[in-house]
Structure 1
Amino acid sequence: MLKNINESTNTLEEYGYACGRIRDLEKYLLNKEIIHKMIESQDLEKSLRVLAENNLSEYSFEKLDSSSIDQVLVNISKRNLNLISEISPYPYLFQLFSWKHDFHNIKVLLKAKMLGKKELFPLYDLGNLSLNGLHAAVFEGKYQLIPIKIKRFIKQAEEGYLKYDSLQLMEVSIDKGYYETIFEQLEDINQDFLFYYYKTEVDLLNLIITCRCKIREIHKSKLAEILIKYGQLSTQKLIDIYDNPLHSWSNNFQKSDYFMVIEQGIKHWIEKNSLLKFEQMIDNYLLNLLKIGKYTTFGLECVIGYYYAKENDLKNIRIIINGKKNSLSDIMIKKYIRDTYV
């Protein structure tokens, strides 16, 4: 992680105020001790109470039904985004982070349309685009309410679903649109660390996409149109190893920073028939990359690091909540919890 500090790092003095604010807010991120106390609590109510007992007052849950809990977490995510807008000297980070919510909403709406269920999953009003505009575009064909490129992404995703009859591959098509949007904006922003972070994210996503395609026995000839460009890792390398036995794939990445992620992720799939460990290791790899933010006082790295650290906290809380609601053992919940930023 520290190898990513170079002569262009820690010199953006316009981020001095933002980094000062972040240093104070980092004290309110979840640490491993709090996470473990939540997991080891007897039930959901006591688990959530741990947050209040550690002076994390923003996590105030008056009701314990799923809708109420989700609304609290969504509101925290919204405040996290608004904080980025408030403390950043430029608006681009807020816009950049907001796109993820737009493309989440597109996935939800398209899934609902394909399955004939309009209220399939909740939509989150945290993006750059109007929820009403997206809804009207997907269900009524009113594409004039959304940007032309978003219309193209929706059309491509629908065509992909009809072609492969796969919701997972439809989601991948939407992800391709997301990263096209992100990297278009990154060209304008021109910040090395942002490029590096999102390229790494694409690499790791392509690795697990390739794994899923192999498991689903999708033909190698289809892989080129499924994989996402923009990463550092050559998609041709993934295509070249595709027909090899899954257990041997990691041998081709022994000198890569991704070796442990691939080796352990695939091993867990072979042993447990689950990619959850792979997903966990990807999240942990990216979080570790972001920890550069803890060592910068004049750079956007600290802002990016804090934003995703907070989102990681929310993900961990959701994992614990789901585990408690489904009566999973403490050991099982701990298996899938993500690392912490602090």
Structure 2
Amino acid sequence: MLVIGSKYAYSFGRVKALEAALIDKTQFKRMAEASTAAEAVKILSETSYADLEGADIPTIENVLQEELRKVYDLAQHTSPKREITDLIQLKYDFHNVKVLLKAETASREPAYLVPLGIVDIEKLKKALKERLKDLPAPLAHAVEAARLMYEETGDAQTIDFVMDSEYTRTLLEHSKESSFLREFFKLKIDLENIRNFVRCQKFKVDFAKAYLDGGTIDVKTFLSFEGEPVETVINAVQTRKYNSVVEEGLKGYEETGSLTLYEKLTEDFLIEYLKKAKMVTLGIEPLIGYILAKEREVKQIRLILLGKLKGVDIEKRMSDPYV
């Protein structure tokens, strides 16, 4: 048992120490209730984050990205299973490829690239132009599939659909060793498919193209809901773990025409599931839980600070933290 656990011991210890520095619900509540961005920043400076007093939006974004870069540096140096932790970071590479491919089709400069992926952005650009084999295999395969679909349809939106589908397939394929993570990804896929189905119905988009493989609800079931009221979807998931999310979230959508509540409830449900990772001592789960928790924390800080700077009410979009 000692030999099996030793490869996780350092990672587990580091994660437990870092979890103590995560922002808790009380601190987030104080920030959300602050009357100005400056006041919210002052409260944030009481935590482990750098003092952002007087900072503009680009500076705030740079500081938040630096926080995430530290998390991924930690993962790269302490993860006992890089092939699993790299999956989480790989989503930034998939995002960057989507941006670059769509810019390529429109013959324009890419709009927003995130410097948090496994592949350096300049190397990524070069690989797309010269040699796809220089990219991680799942990413290279996704690029080929997305380009082929675009050539067949001429629709740049298919690039998003293909890249998203390929990423979820990669997540499931490489998380087989952890039933905890595999279930997490399946739950996430189901909830994203339900959200996407409702959006496609609203905007008259072909859901079959947006459907993400790997969940527990097949595409035929979703297509059978087309033209039906949202109660049909609610009734179909009554036995699922996330049934309350779907019921409350979609009823909120019926009343407001917005999926904001659904998305908030989805995030709360998934973070609650991730909290189970804290109980695992001999596995990769605590590190994965911490990475995703830190991403959620950064997202919440961004939401609060940018909301305050732009004068947008964000309280209804606030979700529960990991601690």
- Fold equivalence (TM over 0.5): yes
Q: Deviations over 1:159-199 (max 9, x none)?
A: 656738464x5423211121222233234xx2221211212
Which AA in structure 2 matches 1:183? L
Partner of 1:327: 311
Paired with 2:164 and 2:204, the residues of 1 have a C-alpha distance of 21
Q: Distance in 1 between matches of 2:109 and 2:248?
A: 38
Residue of structure 2 aligned with 1:129, choices 107, 119, 136: 119
* 8 Å contact kept, 2:45–2:51: yes
Compute the displacement of 1:116 (Å): 4.8
Match of 2:275 in 1: 291
Cα distance in structure 1, aligned partners of 2:154 and 2:239? 35
Match of 1:69 among 35, 53, 60: 60
* 2:215 pairs with 1:231: yes
Does the CA-based 8 Å contact 1:323-1:333 persist in structure 2? yes
Shift of 1:304: 1.5
* Structure 2 counterparts to residues 1-342 of structure 1, below 5 A: 12=5, 14-53=7-46, 56-61=47-52, 64-114=55-105, 116-121=107-112, 123-136=113-126, 140=129, 143=132, 145-146=134-135, 150-158=139-147, 163=153, 165=155, 167=157, 170-187=159-176, 190-219=177-206, 223=208, 225-328=209-312, 332-342=313-323
Separation of aligned partners in 2, 1:263 and 1:275: 12
Q: Could you say what secondary structure the match of 2:174 adopts?
A: helix
How far 1:133 moved relative to its partner? Answer: 3.4
CA offset at residue 142 of structure 1? 5.5
What percent identity do the matched residue pairs reach?
Answer: 29
Structure 1: which 5+ runs fail to align?
1-10
Instruction: Tell me how large the CA RMSD over aligned residues is.
Output: 2.6
Residues 118 and 305 (structure 1 numbering): CA distance in 2 closer, same or farther, change over 3 Å? Answer: same
1:79-103 Cα offsets, whole Å, 9 max, x none, are: 0111122332232233222211111
State how many pairs are aligned.
Answer: 319
Q: How far off is 1:323 after superposition?
A: 1.0
TM-score, reference length from structure 1: 0.83
Cα deviation, 1:297-317, whole Å, max 9, x if unaligned, reads: 333222121111111100101
Letter in 1 for 2:190: D
Q: Which amino acid aligns with 2:268?
A: N
CA positional deviation for 1:226: 3.5
Contact persistence 1:161–1:170 (CA under 8 A): yes
CA apart distance, 1:115: 5.0
SS at 1:37's partner residue? Answer: helix
Q: Give the residue type in structure 1 aligned to 2:169.
A: E
Shift, 1:45, TM fit: 2.0
- Name the amino acid aligned to 1:218: V
TM-score, normalization by structure 2: 0.88
Point out the more displaced range, 249-258 or 13-22: 13-22
